[in-house]
Amino acid sequence: MSDFIAIDGPAGSGKSSVSKAVARSRGYGYLDTGAAYRALAWHVLDRGADTDDADAVLAAASDFDLRLGLDPDDRTVAVGESDITTAIRDPRVSDAVSGVARVPAVREQVNIFFRSLVAAAPYPAVVVEGRDITTVVAPDAPVRILLTAAPEVRAARRAGELAGENAAVVAEALHKRDASDSAVVDFLNAAEGVEVVDSTELDFPQTIDAVLAVIERKQ
Ligand code: C5P
């Protein structure tokens, strides 16, 4: 049974790249829970269904063959035989994913999937990143971290990742997604016992070190 290293945070906080680097440096597994929600949003769109229609989302979720591994060096995401590793990062998926993630029965179903993946993981621990890992998926995890950064810093980082996209458009989309996501789970404020790592003034290696320091202290 692997331990959860639970890391939550808003879009553009750097949690994916930091979580992956932390997993690599410790020889842990890595689970990107946002990728599962994105894959489901892709699957709903692929069926031509409406991602804001809870019944259509549930129907898609009951016929959802998601393949998502825990190797931090292999981020392949597939649904059935379709490799959607790149497609789930498309703006059309980013814009649709909050609708899918807001359906409570969907959240319960994916949470069971996440817990079973970690339970069967061939690693001493798995770094699990998302929005509700510290509070809902693994509230008893030995290490629980909220990774934050100022909104303008997050928008600038995300615009840098999406080369060619207009920075103001990226900031607006990020703000919209955070607003609708935070109506479902509060990932902007740390729950009791959750350690905050604010990366506003930190570069990437410093953020990794700050997270590793929390892990060393808590484990
Ligand atoms: O982390 P990422 O930005 O890829 O997550 C994509 C979307 O998945 C979020 O905007 C949110 O709607 C949803 N999500 C969630 N709970 C999680 C992880 C992601 O609702 N634990």
Per residue in 141-167, pLDDT (tens digit) is 999 999 999 988 998 888 777 676 777
What is the structure's pLDDT at 169?
86
pLDDT at 130: 97
**pTM of the predicted model as reported, rounded to 2 decimal places:** 0.94
Residue positions counted in the chain: 219
Ligand 1, atom 5, lies closest to the CA of 34
| Residue nearest (by alpha carbon) to ligand 1 atom 19 | 34
In this predicted structure, the answer to whether residue 1 has a pLDDT above a threshold of 80 is no
Quick one: DSSP state of residue 3?
E
Which residue out of 4, 31, 89, 97 has the highest number of ligand 1 atoms within 8 Å of its CB and is therefore the one to mutate? 97
What residue segments make up the domains of the chain, in order of their start?
3-218
Closest atom of ligand 1 relative to the 133 alpha carbon: 21
CA dist., res. 194 & res. 142, Å (int): 10
Ligand 1 pocket by Cβ (under 6 Å) = 11, 33-34, 37-38, 97-98, 101, 130-133, 177, 181
User: Which amino acid type is present at position 4?
Assistant: F
Architecture of the structural domain at 3-218: 3-Layer(aba) Sandwich (3.40)
HSE-up (13 A, CA, CB side) for residue 88 = 24
Amino acid symbol at 93? V
Q: Which residue has the tokens 């909104």?
A: 151
Q: Which residues contact 163 (CB under 8 A, 6 or more apart)?
A: none
Atom index in ligand 1 nearest the CA of residue 132 equals 21
pLDDT tens-digit map of 88-147: 999 999 999 999 999 999 999 999 999 999 999 999 999 999 999 999 999 999 999 999
ipTM score of the complex? 0.98
Which residues have CB under 8 Å from 165's CB, separation 6+? Answer: 91, 159
